[in-house]
Structure 1
Amino acid sequence: MSGKLYIVGIGPGDKDLRTLRAQRVLEESQVIVGYNTYLKLISDIIEGKEVIGARMKEEVFRANVAIEKALEGKVVSLVSSGDPQVYGMASLVFDIIARRGMTLDVEVIPGVTAGLAAAARIGSPISLDYASISLSDLLIPREEILKRVESAATGDFVILLYNPINKPLLEETMSIISKFRSPETPVGIITKAYRQGEIKEVTTLRDWKKYENEIGMVTTIIVGNSRTYNAGNLVITPRGYERKYEL
């Protein structure tokens, strides 16, 4: 008899930013599966449950074991940081189920993404159209990533950069963006948003490299568009009200 598989977004890490639905689902689950770092972020709620942890690059193992436990008739939560559809586990789980022709009750529980959390820490930089791009080239060729970066830059989107751990790729990315943006374009560099040890810097496209040593896997970089501006330590992208109304 099949059980139930929840793919749960736990948000950026702070307990207060979990959704009520995510909290209830985790409480109801008999089995919790996740990357070890994510399990530490929900340590307050997993005591007494069957917990299956995994290391980085073991996503396929996590997906398979969560599916297997659900097929055994258990209620299972497979956790992702942020939202499970945004560079998380949802796609992999559904892909495996579809390829194998399996029947399983699966529900995605959305969560606050790293991009939303990082943006909130520096004002309102993503109030208009934005593009989200992962700089992880473990699964996607760098040429494909850079093509997307150029498309976002030419389209004047605010750009959210996830997983900027590959420094040569990050530098090439920022170089491409710099061809289409002013050197004074605001750049936010936020590490561990809403987690212990959070670091946030507001700089410009010209000066971002001053903070390159602070950038890691849990950093989100936000590059403004042509209308984004700094106001003290805030980064603001106007929605266009100033074009029609007296502010």
Structure 2
Amino acid sequence: MLYVVGIGPGNEDYFTKEAENALNSTDLIVCYTGYKKYVERFDKEIYVSGMTKELERVEYALNEAENKDVALVSNGDATIYGLASLAYELNEKNLHNVTIKVLSGLTSASVCSSILGAPLNHDFAVVSLSNLLTPLETILKRINCAVESDMVLAIYNPLGKKRKEPFLKTVEIISNYSKDRNIDYIVGIVKNAGRNDSEYKITTINNLVNNLDEFMQYIDMSTTLVIGNSNTKIIDGMMITPRGYMSKYE
């Protein structure tokens, strides 16, 4: 049996009961090197590999799962930019015939929404700015469509040390809509969501653009951005997107 386990942001408080049970009962844990520190407490054999080794890591987990119970760990939710889909693909392609069970976990967008207030309380889209697996033109098309449709937008992997173009072009798209619609979109910025060193800022797209260098020093790959829609507002210092109850039932 292969359990594909989402462990949330990493802190124990965010592990689901289902994930805890699976990691306590499996024979082997397979994960990215950076996640090892979050699963060492289960006192299991752990196999790790680094960034860009996803194919090798999942294939190893499937091979081992033919004879034992294995937990393949993803940060956040294993089905949201995680390894669940790859596990199914390789299981079929390489004829492993392993039974796969996916265990849900808290993704960054949900955790960040609670930290910021309630910005995802209406329709929203989640887009990763990492163009390692997705062409930049596709990413920017999706960003454009989300902002055009006035959805709240959660942005993963916004800015790497050497990967700045996707972020800069995304900011440009949002800023252009801001000018055309005369809306200073509210922007939530959360670093290390759900971890001990979690922190956040709430600003606007105009302020971000006007202080771009400062914000680019702050934002990194452990940051999630939440861009509000035309109705998002600040209430008691928190970022809130109304669902519409007040206007519907008053």
TM-score by length of 1: 0.93
Matched residue, 1:195:
195
The within-5 A match list for 1:74-85 is 74-85=68-79
Which of 89, 105, 115 in structure 1 is aligned with 2:109? 115
Give, in whole Å, the separation in 2 of the partners of 1:188 and 1:30: 40
Counterpart selection for 2:175 from 174, 178, 181: 178
Distance 1:94 1:105 in 2: 10
Shift of 1:102: 3.4
Give the corresponding residue for 1:65: 60
Residue 143 of structure 1 corresponds to which residue in structure 2?
A: 137
Deviation by residue 1:27-77 (Cα, 9 ceiling, x = unmatched): 0010000011112122222x1x21101111111111011001001x11000
Aligned to 2:158: 164
In structure 2, the partner of 1:50 is 45
**CA distance, structure 1, for counterparts of residue 207 and residue 53 of structure 2:** 36
The counterpart of 2:20, out of the listed 7, 23, 29, is 23
Question: In structure 2, what residue type is equivalent to 1:220?
Answer: T
Matches of 2:40 and 2:201, distance apart in 1: 29
Q: May I ask how many residue pairs the two structures share in their alignment?
A: 240
Moved over 3 A (4+): none
Shift of 1:121: 0.4
One-letter amino acid of the structure 2 residue matched with residue 193 of structure 1: A
Aligned counterpart, 2:234: 230
Preserved CA contact (<8 Å) 2:188 2:227: yes
Residue 183 of structure 1 and its aligned partner are, at CA, apart by 5.1
Amino acid at match of 2:102: V
Q: Name the structure 2 match of 1:39.
A: 36
Give the Cα separation in 1 of the matches to 2:79 and 2:242: 27
Gap regions ≥5 residues in structure 1: none
Whole-angstrom distance in 2 between the partners of 1:212 and 1:232: 27
Partner letter of residue 47 of structure 2? I
How high is the sequence identity, in percent, across the aligned residues? Answer: 37
How much does 1:232 deviate? Answer: 3.9
Across the aligned residues of Structure 1 and Structure 2, the Cα RMSD in angstroms comes to 1.2
Kindly tell me: are residues 169 and 38 of structure 1, through their superposed partners in 2, closer, same or farther at Cα, counting changes over 3 Å? same
Q: Name the structure where helix makes up a greater proportion of residues.
A: 2
Question: Are the aligned partners of 1:114 and 1:193 in contact in 2 as well (CA < 8 Å)?
Answer: yes
Q: Is the 8 A contact 1:133 1:160 kept in 2?
A: yes
How far apart, CA to CA, are the structure 2 residues paired with 1:118 and 1:185? 17
Offset at 1:103?
A: 1.3
For 1:54 and 1:101, locate their aligned partners in 2 and report how far apart those are by CA, in whole Å. Answer: 23
- Residues 140-164 of structure 1 deviation map (CA, whole Å, 9 limit, x = unaligned): 1101110111111101110000011
What secondary structure does 1:213 align onto? helix
The answer to whether the Cα contact below 8 Å between 2:183 and 2:230 also exists between their aligned partners in 1 is no
SS at match of 1:180: helix
SS in 2 for 1:6: strand
Q: Indicate the residue corresponding to 2:243 in structure 1.
A: 239
What is the distance in 2 between the residues matched to 1:10 and 1:206? 35
Partner residue, 1:98: 92
Alignment pair present for 1:207 and 2:207: yes
Kept in 2: contact 1:69–1:76 (CA 8 A): yes
User: What per-residue deviation string (whole Å, max 9, x for no partner) do you get for residues 199-219 of structure 1?
Assistant: 211111112234221111111
Structure 2: segments with no counterpart, 5+ residues: none
Q: Is the 8 A contact 1:119 1:126 kept in 2?
A: yes
